[in-house]
Structure 1
């Protein structure tokens, strides 16, 4: 997957390509409260972002997450029902590792 970066001239813009480094990234599911049940799932997402430039004489800019990004979700049922997907997604937050 990649996308185009808009630019004002031929020297501006380019492409941006995110790549997940570890497809088997660590994931943790914890029961944080018994009654009523509350769960927390933490996904570690190491990834690389490559920004290609239209000027072929310049090397692409490569950004690597160090430490990996964390995606933290909190919900009251596991697995979360599809009807409550918006609620689950609404409780997701990004955190630094």
Structure 2
């Protein structure tokens, strides 16, 4: 997915901005993609996906709009630490349940 995103971003018709969204497993992939895209102008909207590692939050340049399930203990147990890491590093994000 990372190579595909880089290809799209470098295409002659690209605006240089990239957005990605994913549900469940793919929500976690979108979180990982946001970390790996580095300084590219990206936005990510993961739905119910596994959070990126809090240690990777400083690498994020993408704006994230994170959608969490109301009753998903496996995913939601990471939400407080993830949100605090975003705040601590001054990252752009919205989180909704």
Higher strand content, 1 or 2 = 1
Q: TM-score of the superposition, structure 2-length normalised? A: 0.22
The structure carrying a bigger helix percent of its residues is 2
Larger Rg: 1
